[in-house]
Amino acid sequence: MSPYPLGLMLTGRRVLVVGGGAVATRRVPALLESGAEVVVVSPSLTPALQALAQDGRLRWIPRRFESSDVDGAWLVHVAVDDHSTAAEVSVAAEERRVFCVRADDRHAASAWTPAITRHGPVTVAVSGGGDVRLAMAVRDAVATLLGAGLPEIRRPASAAGAGEAMGGRTAAEGHAAAHGDAVGSVALVGAGPGDPELITVRGRRLLAGADVVIVDRLAPGLLLDELRPEVELIDASKIPYGPAKAQREINRLLVDHALAGRRVVRLKGGDPFVFGRGAEEVAACAAAGLPVTVVPGVTSAVAVPAAAGIAVTQRGIAHEFTVVSGHLAPDDPASLVDWPALARLRGTLCVLMGLRQLRAIADALMTNGKPADTPAAVIQDGTTAGQRVLRATLGTVAAEAAAQALRPPVVVVIGPVAG
């Protein structure tokens, strides 16, 4: 058989799924993502499907299939192992001229589901002529190529279509389209805690399509080696002035390059919104009418302890964890951290940027009641080949960190889980 490839627009259209087991659990999320009105007919559901039904994201009919269930459906998915029931569904769908996908026997179906990989706006569907393993192998190969760097597609602005599309555009996009200019964009990308492979797929894709990359000191340097030769790289850590003026300069660079029609990626260590001043940069771009994409990153507050074998929460040990910035001493008037309150917590305390103030932090916690024998750990260069882990107690951690000449970046973990 030679199937005819087609993309179905299912938004607001009813799709019937017969069966509530593992196959249905795999198929339903993509149907919901497409906007379909999903109806599941099955005497029972997996916990995942039950949760979707309880949230009102799908309709569950708790019984066996009846031929009238196909009425009003645009597409049917048969997700049962019972061949007789599957055949019954096929007959009902055929009589009503509704395409039917069958998990039990694709050759008895009137529609096939291809092996799919998605990368942003690109969806690739592979059909292997009935050979599922072949289709998946080709799909995986394509996914690897896309993951290695598919540039963002710059859609040329159309002056003729500018008025029609103005309603969904920012002011900058509308102005650029009306004047035939290309409008740029800004993406704040979290690069993760240090290991270059911990950047998200979307973050890597945006990097591959960037014209300008403004990078922080803590972003993995190996990611920069993958940039196209013509990409303009700006090292934000080398921008002069004090911290406040440097941030204003970074904001200006983001806006100016984007208004000039360039695709700008602001590459930041960890997550852009965890002590990364991402909100300030989004505000600056929004004030200029620029489209901004925020790509969350794997935050070092959780990932670095994990790489050192420390779970920030653990049943029976810690039911909470708190992340604070330690760049200011506890007695600094500018500090917004309530150290006395943190000393009373029974869970895990993760301190970022706290190495320089570690002794003052430990003293403040102990002064306010945190026992000196509370386990503590300091992880330097977490998730990288240079990772170092120091385990101590709250009373000794500052002295031991100094003795071992630990240097930033580090994550400090205080609490029972560190033991």
Q: Where would I find the H helices in 187-311? A: 201-208, 243-259, 278-287, 300-307
Rounded distance between C-alpha atoms, residue 230 and residue 246, angstroms: 25
**H helices of 110-218, where?**
132-147, 162-165, 171-178, 201-208
Structure tokens at 177: 């389209």
- Adjacent-strand bridge partners of 288: none
Distance CA 272, CA 268 (A): 6
**Bridge-based pairing state of the strands 37-41 and 14-18:** parallel
In this structure, what DSSP letter does residue 372 have?
T
Cα–Cα distance for residue pair 365/328, rounded to 1 Å: 14
Our answer to whether residue 370 is catalytic in this structure is no
Residue indicated by tokens 């002590």:
275
Residue that is written with structure tokens 């916990």 in the block: 47
216, 271, 363, 381: the catalytic one is 216
Strand pairing class (263-268; 212-215)? parallel
Does 216 participate in catalysis according to the annotation? yes
Greatest Cα pair distance in the chain: 80
Q: Give the Cα separation of 208 and 110 in Å (integer).
A: 39
CA–CA separation, 260 and 212 (whole Å): 11
Judging by DSSP bridges, how do beta strands 115-119 and 122-126 pair with one another? Answer: antiparallel
φ, ψ of residue 377 in degrees (nearest 5): -145, 145
**Coil vs helix vs strand at 393:** strand
Q: 220 and 195 in contact (C-beta within 8 Å)? A: yes
Half-sphere CA count of 175, side-chain side, radius 13 A? 11
Place of tokens 């529609």: 111
Q: Which residues participate in catalysis according to the annotation?
A: 216, 238
